[in-house]
């Protein structure tokens, strides 16, 4: 049987470059090599497309040596017109080699210039099928401000709060502080268009707001100030069905914070203490059904086409409040999204195959 060729696309220009590289390590190690031939295409922090090594161990997530895509002098050359699915590479010495026809691209890019619809639009233009979400759904879910607008319009409860731009903060800081004071503390301040908890701060007292906004607005020119919702942090993994099939939701998983103040970057990726991931979550059947059905409603409301992790707060009175959706969530083997599907009966390798096959079917 001829193997289908998958271009695994990772790295990128965002602050989540290393997380994407670590995800690539997990995917390269687990992808079904009996079915798929792999072309690892890395994007450097400067935006150069390079032909990477097919060595999963190169991209292990190590706290003091975070993985990254280095510029090795190669340049991957994309199709010159739609309908031509062949890739080429220009070597460092200037010679050009044919890499063959690519059946599908698997973008595992986190953050801006990858998870926000820009790469999806590029792939649409050159006519290459790809796995995961498309242009609109990626863009909507990347921008937490617009995510909340769509969900609220669909009747789905979201965290209370408001959005502030860098210009508004510069022009009327006192007005922003006064508006924030209308919400009970603590507050969470986060960039509108970033992930992996980059730039996120928990504000315990009002005098911490200025520094929290400085951190958030260093990542984006738009930030959210949200009232902290008291409740359990629970996540549901969602997959688009194949054409004609319904959206699928996993069993929920829970983030249990013991000594950590919130689920920050270190807790997510670097094995920081104070966090337990429990999958499946210890919730009753009615809550499980509420979470799964609400996750599907949110996914469908945002017209998601590929995958998403839907993050909730489950309150003491049983409400499921949506915090956000991630269209390329943490996807290392130990991340919550794969773990939720493993608990639901789909292995990590099967999950990767599902995403690729779904992207091909959509094309």
Among 184, 206, 227, which residue terminates a domain?
A: 227
Q: What pLDDT does 15 receive?
A: 85
Q: What pLDDT does 296 receive?
A: 98
C-alpha pair distances (Å), 159 with each of 217, 223, 320: 20, 14, 10
- Span of 122-126, 150-154, 269-273 with lowest mean pLDDT: 269-273
Whether residue 172 is found in the same domain as residue 219: yes
Q: What pLDDT does 182 receive?
A: 97
Whether residue 211 is found in the same domain as residue 335: no
Q: What pLDDT does 276 receive?
A: 84
Whether residue 291 is found in the same domain as residue 148: yes
Q: What pLDDT does 220 receive?
A: 92
Which CATH number belongs to the domain containing residue 63 in this structure?
3.40.50.20
Which CATH number belongs to the domain containing residue 144 in this structure?
3.30.470.20
Whether residue 147 is found in the same domain as residue 291: yes
Task: Count up the domains in the chain and report the number.
Answer: 3
Spatial neighbors of 121 by CB under 8 A, at least 6 apart, are 135
Tokens of 7: 């271009």
Is 245's pLDDT higher than 70? Answer: yes
Q: Which domain holds residue 271?
A: 140-158+230-348
% of residues, the chain, pLDDT over 90: 85
Whether residue 121 is found in the same domain as residue 261: no
Which CATH number belongs to the domain containing residue 206 in this structure?
3.30.1490.20
Q: What pLDDT does 64 receive?
A: 73
Is 335's pLDDT higher than 60? Answer: yes
Distance CA 90, CA 50 (A): 9
Residue 164: name the closest of 225, 120, 83, 115 by CA. 225
Distance CA 57, CA 173 (A): 47
pLDDT average, residue stretch 177-184: 97
- Span of 58-72, 164-178, 208-222, 241-255 with lowest mean pLDDT: 58-72
215 in a structural domain? yes
Whether residue 213 is found in the same domain as residue 245: no
135 in a structural domain? no
354 in a structural domain? no
355 in a structural domain? no
204 in a structural domain? yes
Q: What pLDDT does 65 receive?
A: 77
pLDDT average, residue stretch 163-180: 97
Distance CA 90, CA 69 (A): 17
Is 270's pLDDT higher than 50? Answer: no
Whether residue 52 is found in the same domain as residue 88: yes
Confidence of residue 292 (pLDDT cuts 50, 70, 90): very high
Whether residue 51 is found in the same domain as residue 174: no
Spatial neighbors of 219 by CB under 8 A, at least 6 apart, are 15, 191, 193, 194, 198, 199
The answer to whether the CB of 117 falls within 8 A of the CB of 19 is no
Whether residue 148 is found in the same domain as residue 42: no
The answer to whether the CB of 228 falls within 8 A of the CB of 172 is no
Q: What pLDDT does 260 receive?
A: 46
pLDDT average, residue stretch 298-322: 97
The radius of gyration of the chain's CA atoms, rounded to the nearest angstrom, is: 20
C-alpha pair distances (Å), 74 with each of 6, 44, 53, 341: 19, 11, 11, 36
Is 126's pLDDT higher than 90? Answer: yes
Give 66-93 pLDDT, tens digit per residue.
Answer: 899 999 999 999 998 888 999 999 999 9
Distance CA 107, CA 23 (A): 11
Whether residue 147 is found in the same domain as residue 271: yes
Give 11-41 pLDDT, tens digit per residue.
Answer: 999 988 999 999 999 999 999 999 999 999 9
Q: What pLDDT does 194 receive?
A: 78
Whether residue 59 is found in the same domain as residue 185: no
Is 317's pLDDT higher than 60? Answer: yes
Q: What pLDDT does 274 receive?
A: 62
Distance CA 197, CA 298 (A): 21
Distance CA 295, CA 300 (A): 9
Q: Is 100 left (phi over 0), alpha (psi -120 to 50) or beta?
A: left
Instruction: Compute the mean pLDDT over every residue in the chain, rounded to the nearest whole number.
Output: 93
Q: What pLDDT does 261 receive?
A: 57
% of residues, the chain, pLDDT over 70: 94
Confidence of residue 334 (pLDDT cuts 50, 70, 90): confident
């Amino acid at each position: 049987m001829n193997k289908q060729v998958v271009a695994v696309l990772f790295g990128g220009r965002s602050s989540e470059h290393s997380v994407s590289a670590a995800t690539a390590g997990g995917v390269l190690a687990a992808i079904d090599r009996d079915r798929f031939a792999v072309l690892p295409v890395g994007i450097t922090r400067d935006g150069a497309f390079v032909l990477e090594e097919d060595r999963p161990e190169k991209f292990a997530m190590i706290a003091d040596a975070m993985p990254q895509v280095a510029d090795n002098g190669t340049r991957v050359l994309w199709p010159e017109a739609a309908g031509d699915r062949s890739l080429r590479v220009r070597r460092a010495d200037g010679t050009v080699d044919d890499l063959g026809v690519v059946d599908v691209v698997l973008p595992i890019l986190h953050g801006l210039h990858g998870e926000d619809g820009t790469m999806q639009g590029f792939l649409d233009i050159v006519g290459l099928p790809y796995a995961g979400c498309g242009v609109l759904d990626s863009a909507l879910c990347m921008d937490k401000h617009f995510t909340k607008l769509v969900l609220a319009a669909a009747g789905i409860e979201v965290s209370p709060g408001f959005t502030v731009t860098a210009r508004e903060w510069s022009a009327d800081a006192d007005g922003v502080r006064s508006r924030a004071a209308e919400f009970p503390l603590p507050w969470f301040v986060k960039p509108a268009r970033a992930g992996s908890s980059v730039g996120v701060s928990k504000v315990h007292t009002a005098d911490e707001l200025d520094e929290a906004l400085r951190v958030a607005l260093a990542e984006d020119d738009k930030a959210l100030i949200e009232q902290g919702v008291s409740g359990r942090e629970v996540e549901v993994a969602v997959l688009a069905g194949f054409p004609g099939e319904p959206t699928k939701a996993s069993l929920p998983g829970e983030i249990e914070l013991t000594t950590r103040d919130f689920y920050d970057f270190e807790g997510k990726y670097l094995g920081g203490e104070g966090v337990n991931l429990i999958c499946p979550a210890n919730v009753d059947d009615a809550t499980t059904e509420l979470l799964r059905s609400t996750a599907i409603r949110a996914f469908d409301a945002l017209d998601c086409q590929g995958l998403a992790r839907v993050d909730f707060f489950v309150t003491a009175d049983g409400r499921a409040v949506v915090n956000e959706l991630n269209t390329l969530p943490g996807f290392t083997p130990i991340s919550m999204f794969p773990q939720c599907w493993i608990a639901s009966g789909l292995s990590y390798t099967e999950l990767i195959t599902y995403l690729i096959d779904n992207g091909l079917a959509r094309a």
